[in-house]
C-alpha cells in the first residue's frame, strides 16, 4: 500500500513548531488595523496611527480580491482608498534623499527620450563591444600587424587595435577611415573589405552613440540613481555581493539539513528502523517525469524520505530472475520481482535493479536567507509540486542528490497532487532570521509592478516636472521634494489620473499576482519556520 501513512511524530512536530513569521488576516472593511500590519515596510502601526501607503494598498487589494472571488463587485470605497495610497507611495518613491532610486531612474527614462535611448543602447553594449573588437582583431591583431613589416601602416593598425581595447569608439572610427585611405592599405583588398565592414557595422554606430549620450546631464543623473541602488551587474562589486549572498544561502541550507537529519534520527529511533528514514539534499527533478516543467522548481534543498515497504515477488520464478537482471540487464527489460512498478530510467540504471531501495517523500524543505524570499518563491514551489504529481504511480524515478541517486516511487510523488494547493503538511520553508523586524504586507514585486504601471509613470512624470519647475524657480531641491511639500504637491495633482491602474488591476489577467499578493504572502509565510524553532519542536516531541 502506498504512499505510507505519515509518521505520528512528524505530524506532532509540524503541528507544534512555532510559526513566528505568520501574517494575520486582513481585517474586514471598517475594522481596526491590527498592530502586526505596518504603516511602512519597516515600522509597526502605532496606537491610533493610520496605516501607511503599502499597508493601505494591501488592504484595498485583498478586499477587492475577496469580493471578486465571491462574484461581487468590489466596494466603491476601495477605489479612492487605493488611488490615494498609490499616489502617496509614488510621492514617497520620488523623494530625493529617501526615495526609490530605481523608480526615479525609470521615471527619467519615461520622461526623456535621450535617457530612454541610452538605456536601450547600453543594454546591448557589451555584445556590441565584443562584435567590434572581433572585427578589429580580424584586420589589426598584433600578430597580423607585425607581419606587414615596419612602416606607417603597421603603426596605424596598432593604434586601431589600441583604440578598440580602450573603448574609444569615435576615435576608432576616425582611425579606420584614415587607414582605409592610406595607399598601401587601399590596394590590399581583403584588409580594405575588413575595414569597410567595421565602418558599416551598426554595432560601431551604436557604441559611438552611447559614448555621445554618456556626457548628457540627464543620462549621468540616471546612472547615478542606478549606482545608488548597488553595484552594476557584471562588476567586481556585484560578483562579490553575489558570492556573499550565495554563502549566506548555503549556510541556511546546511542548518536546515542538520535539523532535518536530527528529525530522521528521531524517527528511526522511534520506529526502531536503523535506516528507515534518511535525508537527502539538492534533490534534482528528473526529466523523465511528465508534465510542464516551465518555471517549476527543479531542485529541492532538503528532503526527508522514508524507505518504502519491500514488495513481494510476483512468483518464485520472477524472484530468481533478479540475479540474472543484475548481471546483465538489457535495454527495456522490466525490473523483476516488482509488482505494478516499472523503472522510469533505462534498465541497468540504479532504479532498474530489483535490489535498489525505493523511497517515499515525507517532507520537502526549502531554505531561505530572508523572510521575503519565501513569497517570491512560492508560485514556483507550487508549480514544482504539481510537476512531481504528474509522475506515473506505477513507475520508479531516479533523483540525483548530493548523496547519490535515490529511487522515488511514483505513487509517493503522485500523492503530492492533493498537497499542491495546500502544501502545509508537505513543505516547510526554513529561515534563520531571528525576528521579523520589517513586516512587508505589500510584496516587493507587487509594489514595483504598481509603480511601473503606465498610469503610475505618467503621474510620477508630472510630479517630477513640478519638482523641476519648483527647483528652477528657486524653492530649492531639498524643499521641493521634502515629504511635507510632497503632500502639498500631491494636492495639486489629481490622483484620479491613476484610475487606469485600478481598472486594469480588476480586469487584466496580468495583474492576478498583484491582486492575490497578500493571500500568497500569508500562505508562504505560514509554511516558514525558524530552524531553531524546528529543532526545539523535534526535541520536545513525545
**Phi, psi torsion values for 99, nearest 5 degrees:** -85, -165
Q: Which residues of 372-398 are buried (b: 16+ CB within 10 A; e: fewer)?
A: bbbbebbbebbbbbbbbbbbbeebbbb
Q: Are residues 142 and 172 in the same domain?
A: yes
Answer with the one of 201, 228, 255 that is the final residue of a domain.
228
Instruction: Find out whether 41 and 444 touch, Cβ atoms under 8 Å.
Output: no
pLDDT for position 352: 64
Q: Are residues 209 and 249 in the same domain?
A: no
Answer with the one of 228, 258, 276 that is the final residue of a domain.
228
- Write out the residue range of the structural domain in which residue 167 sits: 119-228
Report pLDDT digits (tens) over 345-396. 444 456 766 678 999 999 999 999 999 899 999 999 999 999 999 999 999 9
293 lies in some domain: yes
Report pLDDT digits (tens) over 135-185. 999 999 888 766 666 688 888 999 999 999 999 999 999 999 999 888 887
Considering all CA atoms of the chain, what is the largest pairwise distance in Å, rounded to the nearest integer?
97
Q: Are residues 212 and 289 in the same domain?
A: no
Q: Are residues 284 and 367 in the same domain?
A: yes
358 lies in some domain: yes
Q: Are residues 408 and 284 in the same domain?
A: yes
Strands 404-409 and 342-343: unpaired
CA distance 262 to 269: 11
* Mean pLDDT to the nearest integer, 69-91: 96
pLDDT for position 25: 87
Please compute, for residue 234, the number of CA atoms within 13 A of its CA located in the half-sphere on the CB side.
3
CA distance 374 to 430: 9
Tally of domains in the chain: 2
* Residue 37 pLDDT exceeds 60: no
Report pLDDT digits (tens) over 235-289. 677 677 777 778 888 999 999 999 999 999 999 988 876 789 999 999 999 999 9
> Is the link from the previous residue into 151 a cis peptide, with omega within 30 of 0?
no
pLDDT for position 305: 96
Instruction: Find out whether 3 and 426 touch, Cβ atoms under 8 Å.
Output: no
pLDDT for position 320: 45
Is 90 exposed, middle or buried (CB count within 10 Å of its CB: 0-12, 13-18, 19+)? buried
70 lies in some domain: no
Is 147 exposed, middle or buried (CB count within 10 Å of its CB: 0-12, 13-18, 19+)? exposed
* Mean pLDDT to the nearest integer, 342-346: 51
63 lies in some domain: no
Report pLDDT digits (tens) over 489-521. 545 678 888 999 999 999 999 999 999 999 999
Of the given ranges (34-38, 136-140, 481-485), which has the lowest mean pLDDT? Answer: 481-485
CB neighbours of 320 closer than 8 A, spacing ≥ 6?
none
Q: Tell me the pLDDT band of 475, cut-offs 50, 70 and 90.
A: low
* Residue 48 pLDDT exceeds 70: no
317 lies in some domain: yes
388 lies in some domain: yes
Model-level pTM? 0.78
424 lies in some domain: yes
Classify residue 301 by its DSSP letter. Answer: E
Q: Are residues 380 and 315 in the same domain?
A: yes
pLDDT for position 495: 84
Q: Are residues 211 and 258 in the same domain?
A: no
Q: Are residues 272 and 198 in the same domain?
A: no
State how far Cα 14 lies from the chain centre: 27
Query: Torsion angle of alpha carbons 313, 316, 322, 324, nearest 10°?
Result: -160
Answer with the one of 228, 253, 274 that is the final residue of a domain.
228
Report pLDDT digits (tens) over 303-325. 999 999 876 554 444 444 344 43
209 lies in some domain: yes
Q: Are residues 208 and 252 in the same domain?
A: no
Of the given ranges (33-42, 380-389, 412-421), which has the lowest mean pLDDT? Answer: 33-42
Q: Are residues 281 and 377 in the same domain?
A: yes
Angle 531-16-19 from CA coordinates, rounded to 5°? 55
Give the chain's radius of gyration (CA, Å): 31
pLDDT for position 449: 97
Q: Are residues 279 and 212 in the same domain?
A: no
Q: Are residues 259 and 358 in the same domain?
A: yes
Helix (H, G, I), strand (E, B) or coil at 83: helix
Amino acid at each position: 500500500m502506498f504512499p505510507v501513512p505519515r509518521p505520528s511524530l512528524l505530524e506532532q512536530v509540524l503541528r507544534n513548531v512555532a510559526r513566528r513569521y505568520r501574517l494575520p488576516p486582513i481585517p474586514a472593511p471598517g475594522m481596526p488595523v491590527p498592530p502586526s500590519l505596518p504603516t511602512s515596510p519597516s515600522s509597526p502601526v502605532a496606537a491610533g496611527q493610520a496605516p501607511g501607503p503599502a499597508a493601505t494598498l494591501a488592504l484595498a487589494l485583498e478586499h477587492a480580491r475577496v469580493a471578486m472571488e465571491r462574484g461581487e463587485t468590489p466596494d466603491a470605497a476601495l477605489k479612492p482608498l487605493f488611488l490615494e495610497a498609490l499616489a502617496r507611495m509614488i510621492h514617497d518613491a520620488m523623494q530625493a534623499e529617501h526615495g526609490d532610486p530605481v523608480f526615479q531612474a525609470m521615471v527619467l527614462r519615461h520622461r526623456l527620450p535621450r535617457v530612454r535611448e541610452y538605456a536601450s543602447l547600453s543594454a546591448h553594449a557589451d555584445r556590441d563591444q565584443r562584435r567590434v573588437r572581433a572585427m578589429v582583431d580580424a584586420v589589426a591583431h598584433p600578430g597580423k600587424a607585425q607581419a606587414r613589416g615596419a612602416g606607417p601602416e603597421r603603426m596605424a593598425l596598432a593604434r586601431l587595435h589600441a583604440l578598440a581595447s580602450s573603448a574609444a569608439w569615435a576615435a576608432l572610427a576616425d582611425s579606420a577611415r584614415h587607414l582605409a585611405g592610406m595607399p598601401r592599405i587601399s590596394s590590399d583588398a581583403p584588409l580594405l573589405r575588413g575595414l569597410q565592414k567595421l565602418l558599416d557595422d551598426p554595432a560601431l554606430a551604436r557604441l559611438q552613440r552611447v559614448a555621445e549620450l554618456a556626457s548628457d546631464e540627464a543620462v549621468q543623473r540616471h546612472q547615478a540613481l542606478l549606482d545608488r541602488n548597488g553595484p552594476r551587474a557584471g562588476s567586481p562589486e556585484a560578483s562579490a555581493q553575489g558570492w556573499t549572498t550565495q554563502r549566506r544561502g548555503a549556510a541556511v541550507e546546511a542548518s536546515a539539513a542538520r535539523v532535518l537529519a536530527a528529525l530522521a534520527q528521531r524517527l528511526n529511533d522511534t520506529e526502531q528502523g536503523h535506516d528507515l528514514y534518511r535525508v537527502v539534499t539538492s534533490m534534482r527533478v528528473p526529466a523523465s517525469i511528465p508534465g510542464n516543467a516551465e518555471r517549476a522548481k527543479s531542485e529541492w534543498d532538503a528532503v526527508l524520505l522514508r524507505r518504502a515497504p519491500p514488495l513481494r515477488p510476483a512468483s518464485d520464478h520472477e524472484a530468481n530472475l533478479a540475479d540474472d537482471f543484475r548481471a546483465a540487464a538489457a535495454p527495456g527489460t522490466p525490473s523483476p520481482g516488482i509488482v505494478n512498478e516499472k523503472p522510469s530510467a533505462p534498465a541497468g540504471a540504479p532504479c532498474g535493479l530489483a535490489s535498489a531501495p525505493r523511497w517515499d517523500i515525507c517532507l520537502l524543505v526549502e531554505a531561505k536567507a530572508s523572510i521575503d524570499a519565501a513569497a517570491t518563491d512560492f508560485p514556483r514551489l507550487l508549480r514544482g509540486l504539481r510537476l512531481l504529481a504528474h509522475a506515473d504511480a506505477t513507475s520508479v524515478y531516479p533523483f540525483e542528490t548530493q548523496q547519490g541517486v535515490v529511487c522515488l516511487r511514483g505513487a509517493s510523488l503522485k500523492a503530492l497532487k492533493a498537497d499542491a494547493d495546500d502544501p502545509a503538511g508537505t513543505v516547510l520553508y526554513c529561515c534563520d532570521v531571528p525576528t521579523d523586524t520589517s513586516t512587508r504586507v505589500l510584496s516587493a514585486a507587487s509594489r514595483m509592478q504598481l509603480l511601473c504601471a503606465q498610469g503610475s509613470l505618467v503621474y510620477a512624470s508630472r510630479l517630477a516636472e513640478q519638482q523641476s519647475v519648483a527647483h528652477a524657480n528657486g524653492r530649492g531641491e531639498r524643499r521641493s521634494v521634502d515629504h511635507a511639500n510632497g503632500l502639498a504637491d500631491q494636492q495639486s495633482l489629481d490622483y484620479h489620473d491613476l484610475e487606469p491602474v485600478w481598472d486594469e488591476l480588476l480586469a487584466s489577467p496580468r495583474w492576478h499576482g498583484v491582486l492575490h499578493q497578500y493571500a500568497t504572502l500569508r500562505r508562504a509565510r505560514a509554511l516558514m519556520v525558524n530552524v531553531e524553532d524546528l529543532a526545539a519542536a523535534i526535541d520536545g516531541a513525545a
